[in-house]
Amino acid sequence: VNDKHIKYLNEAHRLAKKKFGSTFPNPVVGCLIVKNNQILSKAVTAPEGRPHAEEIAIKKAGQKSKGATMYVTLEPCFHKSRNGSCADQILRSGIKKIYIARHDSDKRTNKKSIHKLIKNKISTTVGLTEEKTNLLNNFFFKSLENKRPYIKVKMAISQDQKIAWSNYDSKWISNSKSREHAHKLRFSSQAIFTTAKTISKDNPRFTVRKKNKIIKHLPVIIIDNSLKISLKSNILKDISKKRVIIFTSTKNTKYEFLKSLGCEIILLKKMKNKQLNLKTIFKKIF
């Protein structure tokens, strides 16, 4: 008996998945409005997170929403946007049933919309296909939970678990396929996190490329405790196009020069072991 509803929810998940990476800082959400077994409208969270999928779907369906059923991969927001919360917009639309794949653990919503919908006599079913929302929006739930950014680590390691020869003479051990994948990962990320050592050894451009063409610029966050980064680094050559954020404990003339170039520098105290505290850094960039 749930097959039909799962089918529609899965279609909403499929829509969301296609747009993964474009809706930061918001999770990507898919939404369908259905009446008499006909799909009235489909929508996904808009680029950069607003408007939400529900708002777009309701607008598309128009007056036909009255008496319809909504399928949505995440609990509609309870907090206000320009047009009111998505929960309020659903109430206004006259939608009578809703299937929500998973509640939103963002504390501004956190089941408040579900309660409001139920209280206002919308038939509300929560939890079917929940795991699909979890998987796709891992970055969102995990970072909320841990209060730090969701981080993917990219390392090229050989079978003996080394990353380079001790004299750094070794060359690329990744291949074109893995590099292509790395650029896909970059494309759907918010920033690249690295160290001054990687910059001095590899002199990376840290752009997002597809078939060797630059398709996106991401902020680059660098740990550079003693400000060793070379002023001739590739990363500083195209500084007009991206944010370069440096964490350091050193304040000298190089610090001032990097700042006047437009680097954003965050000064932190060293720990006893003379390193910067990664936890503090993660908190700052959350």
- Interacting residues toward its own copies by CB under 8 A: 48, 58, 62-63, 65-66, 82-84, 88-94, 120-121, 219, 239-241, 243, 259-262, 264
Is 78 or 141 the residue whose CB approaches its own copies more closely? 78
Which residues on adjacent β-strands are paired with residue 39?
34
- Total residues found in the chain within this entry: 286
Is 132 or 186 the residue whose CB approaches its own copies more closely? 186
Is 9 or 191 the residue whose CB approaches its own copies more closely? 191
CB of 190 to its own copies, least distance (A): 9
Clarify whether 54 is annotated catalytic: yes
CB of 226 to its own copies, least distance (A): 22
Is 130 or 238 the residue whose CB approaches its own copies more closely? 238
Which residues on adjacent β-strands are paired with residue 98?
70, 124
CB of 78 to its own copies, least distance (A): 12
Determine the distance from the C-alpha atom of residue 50 to the mean position of all C-alpha atoms in its chain, rounded to a whole number: 14
Rounded-to-integer distance, Cα 73 and Cα 42, Å: 12
Tell me whether the omega of the peptide bond preceding residue 76 falls within 30 degrees of 0, making it cis: no
CB of 91 to its own copies, least distance (A): 4
Is 174 or 190 the residue whose CB approaches its own copies more closely? 190
Q: Which residues contact 196 (CB under 8 A, 6 or more apart)?
A: 222, 223, 224, 225, 227, 228, 229
CB of 36 to its own copies, least distance (A): 19
**54, 131, 145, 256: which one is catalytic?**
54
> What order do you get walking across the sheet with 264-267 strand by strand?
192-195, 220-223, 244-248, 264-267
- Pairing of the two strands 97-100 and 38-44: unpaired
Tokens 């500083």, residue located: 236
> Which pair of structure tokens corresponds to residue 149?
């950014």
Residue positions annotated with a catalytic role? 54
